[in-house]
């Protein structure tokens, strides 16, 4: 018996972005914000900027489930927006750091079994 492989299209693969503003005025708020960031990392997100995290997902269905998990972690008075990009859209992102630019992002070394 041969193995069956599913071809995955760059239009089906999703990138999930979490953008957030969390209150950090009190020690308790700072602790909650730190916990939220650690939870995102534990779920496989990578930090893009201090309040912007991203993660690869094999499908839109999985991306939506991941977004719900993130939503359940939002601290009181926190604001989190989840953005979805296909792999094709993600490869068009242009990043600038100082005077240098990168137009074609390298994909993170992350494995997701599905």
Number of H helices, E strands in the chain: 3, 6
Q: Which two tokens stand for residue 1?
A: 């018996």
- pLDDT tens digits, residue range 92-106? 989 888 875 555 555
Share of the chain above pLDDT 90, in %: 66
Query: How many structural domains compose the chain?
Result: 1
- Domain range for 45: 14-102
Residue at 53 is within a domain: yes
What whole-number distance in Å separates Cα of residue 41 and Cα of residue 43?
A: 5
Residue at 51 is within a domain: yes
Residue at 107 is within a domain: no
Strands (E), 1-114: 14-21, 46-49, 52-57, 79-86, 95-97, 100-102
What whole-number distance in Å separates Cα of residue 33 and Cα of residue 24?
A: 7
pLDDT at 12: 80
Which CATH number is 28's domain given?
3.30.70.240
Q: Which residues of the chain have pLDDT under 50?
A: 114
pLDDT at 101: 56
């Amino acid at each position: 018996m041969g193995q069956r492989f599913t071809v995955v299209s760059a239009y089906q693969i999703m990138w999930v972005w979490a953008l957030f503003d969390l209150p950090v005025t009190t020690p308790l708020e700072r602790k909650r914000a730190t916990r939220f960031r650690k939870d995102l990392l534990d779920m496989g997100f990578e930090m893009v900027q201090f309040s912007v995290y991203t993660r690869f997902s094999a499908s839109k269905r999985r991306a939506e489930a991941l977004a719900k998990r993130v939503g359940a972690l939002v601290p009181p008075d926190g604001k989190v927006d989840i953005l979805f990009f296909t792999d094709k859209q993600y490869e068009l992102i242009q990043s600038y750091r100082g005077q240098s630019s990168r137009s074609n992002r390298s994909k993170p070394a992350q494995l997701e079994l599905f």
